Amino acid sequence: MSGRCAMKRKAGRLLAITLLSGLFTICARGEEAAMLDGKALFHEKCAMCHRVMGMGTGLLARRVDEPFLEKRTDLTADYVIHAARSGIGNMPAIPRGEASDEQLEAIATYLAAGNAE
Ligand code: HEC
């Protein structure tokens, strides 16, 4: 009888560990989404065109005073998201497979940070 009881306790402990680790995984994932680094993502997804000598920088230099998106103070997050999702001028649209909504939002927030609004 005591043997079976011990088995039950062991199973109970296993179940608790499984539940706890599941909970931990969910929490860790939530944190990951909240901690998306807009600056790092901008460099990963956009900088190939928006750095020094990039095609975006070169073309923007023709029509705006500050061609570096990171130095702009007039960008709103909405404008950045719209430009990236729809494409603008010679910039191709960035699909969700390239940058997820969460990632693009983090990038847009980072680029809009210089905006006083
Ligand atoms: C393939 C190259 C390329 C990539 C990748 C790219 N861009 Fe661009 N981007 C451009 C070009 C070229 C322009 C200038 C468009 C024009 O005026 O013809 C531009 C313009 C923009 C503008 C408009 C600025 C203004 O003043 O109107 C925004 C905002 C922008 N890009 C954001 C982004 C973001 C955010 C990413 C990354 C998610 C990104 N771009 C990735 C090429 C690129």
Give pLDDT tens digits for 14-23: 666 666 666 6
93 lies in the same domain as 113:
yes
* pLDDT interval class at 39 (50, 70, 90): very high
Count how many domains the chain has. Answer: 2
Q: How far apart are CA 45 and CA 10, in angstroms?
A: 49
pTM equals 0.78
Nearest atom in ligand 1 to 60's CA: 14
Amino acid at 117: E
51 lies in the same domain as 85:
yes
Domain that holds residue 2: 1-35
Mean pLDDT to the nearest integer, 85-103? 97
Could you give phi then psi for residue 88, rounded to 5 degrees? Answer: -150, 130
- Rounded to whole angstroms, what are the CA distances from 108 to 21, 41, 48, 64, 75? 34, 10, 17, 19, 9
Ligand 1-lining residues (CB < 6 angstroms): 45-46, 48-50, 55-56, 59-60, 63-64, 69, 80, 83-84, 88-92, 94, 99, 104, 107
Distance 97 CA to ligand 1 centre (A): 17
- DSSP label at 43? H
* pLDDT interval class at 35 (50, 70, 90): confident
- Bridge partners for 86 per DSSP: none
48 lies in the same domain as 93:
yes
Residue 106 has a pLDDT of 97
